[in-house]
Amino acid sequence: MIQELKTGIYHNEYREQSPAVGDYIIFAKGRSVLARKESDIIAFPRFEEVDAEMAYIYLFQIDISGKMQKFFLGDTDKVSDGLQNDYGYSQQNMFRTKGPDYMAFAGITACQLANWYASVKYCGACGSKLLHDKRERMMRCPKCNAMQYPKISPAVIVGVIDRAQNKILMTKYAGREYKKYALIAGFTEIGETAEDTVRREVLEETGVHVKNVRYYKSQPWSFSDTLLLGFYCDLDGNGQICIDEEELSLGEWLSPKEIPTEYDGISLTNEMIMRFKNGLE
Ligand SMILES: [Zn+2]
């Protein structure tokens, strides 16, 4: 999965600090991020290439083969002409396909943080300008003391299995860019446990009842500001599918040999599908 780094160890501890020579500076806005042009691998500008006065925000560091590499956010309004000779904005989807793995994970995580920082400039309660807290990754209101932490929405990914037929419930989303097979997914609502979300989402999206809900793994999925919680569960009763056409374009039961999905090493959904395909669940 995208967060499982083969060549690095991610360190998320927040320490307010300034960038120095060799540190990476990430400029991200919406779904795009500044990266070296025409490069097969992901490369972000280093501090010494940025060549402009701006306020930087410390992000995180990654231990790459024993060397600590720091990452900061830069100000997208201050990207110099010189920098634009070598670097251009690319869609964040490149982090699904390009490496090295620690740069892909750093890039997508930085995008989520950049979008969060862009959304918390003012206090939602009193309208004052928010300030960076000195000790935590948090924005604080100097007037009413309201605190804003990074937005993370928990959501479930569900592998529903029909034990009698040895099939898994596969779906395709309606009206989305992503056209491949997926599993049932949905956001946890206030007042629900993650297991409640599993039962509700499967019923709402496919009309199917489930039992034996069991936790598998989680994944930080910065493409959608989400913490994904993966669960498997078993079909309870009739497997007749009645899809919610607002959410899904297709829902069907597939046996391991009918599953067209190939291993991608990126998403929890992919890992969970492959696990069933390979007879491990
Ligand atoms: Zn306030």
* C-alpha separations of 200 from 78, 188, 193, 203, 211 in Å: 46, 10, 11, 5, 12
The overall average pLDDT reported for the chain is: 95
User: In this structure, what token pair is assigned to residue 208?
Assistant: 């199917």
Domain locations along the chain: 9-119, 120-150, 153-277
153-277 architecture in CATH?
Alpha-Beta Complex (3.90)
Sign of CA dihedral 233, 216, 275, 197: positive
Q: Which residues keep their CB under 5 angstroms from ion ligand 1?
A: 123, 125-126, 128, 141, 143-144, 146
- Cis amide prior to 256 (ω within 30 degrees): no
Distance 150 CA to ligand 1 centre (A): 17
Which of the residue ranges 120-129, 214-223, 244-253 would you say has the lowest mean pLDDT? Answer: 244-253
224 pLDDT more than 80: yes
Measured distance CA(111)–CA(42) in Å, rounded: 14
User: In this structure, what token pair is assigned to residue 204?
Assistant: 């709402």
Distance 144 CA to ligand 1 centre (A): 4
Distance 91 CA to ligand 1 centre (A): 34
The mean pLDDT value for 229-256 works out to: 94
Q: Give me the pLDDT at residue 52, please.
A: 82
Distance of CA 231 to the CA centre of its chain: 17
Tokens 């940025």 -> residue: 50
226 close to 152: Cβ distance less than 8 angstroms: yes
Distance 53 CA to ligand 1 centre (A): 29
Distance 109 CA to ligand 1 centre (A): 27
State percent of the chain over pLDDT 90: 92
96 close to 111: Cβ distance less than 8 angstroms: no
33 close to 27: Cβ distance less than 8 angstroms: yes
Distance 152 CA to ligand 1 centre (A): 21
Distance 130 CA to ligand 1 centre (A): 8
Q: Give me the pLDDT at residue 225, please.
A: 93
Distance 74 CA to ligand 1 centre (A): 26
Distance 122 CA to ligand 1 centre (A): 8
User: In this structure, what token pair is assigned to residue 8?
Assistant: 């690095």
Q: Give me the pLDDT at residue 7, please.
A: 83
The mean pLDDT value for 115-129 works out to: 96
CB atoms within 10 A of CB 194: 16
Distance 133 CA to ligand 1 centre (A): 14
The mean pLDDT value for 20-25 works out to: 97
The mean pLDDT value for 191-200 works out to: 98
Distance 140 CA to ligand 1 centre (A): 8
Measured distance CA(54)–CA(123) in Å, rounded: 23
Distance 147 CA to ligand 1 centre (A): 8
Q: What are phi and psi of 185, to 5 degrees?
A: -145, 150
Element (H, E) at 91: strand 87-91
CB atoms within 10 A of CB 247: 19
Distance 34 CA to ligand 1 centre (A): 33
Distance 129 CA to ligand 1 centre (A): 8
Residue 177 banded pLDDT, cuts 50, 70, 90:
confident
The mean pLDDT value for 261-270 works out to: 94
Angle formed at CA 147 by CA 12 and CA 137, multiple of 5 degrees: 15
Residue 247 banded pLDDT, cuts 50, 70, 90:
confident
Distance 18 CA to ligand 1 centre (A): 27
DSSP state, 257? G
Measured distance CA(109)–CA(95) in Å, rounded: 10
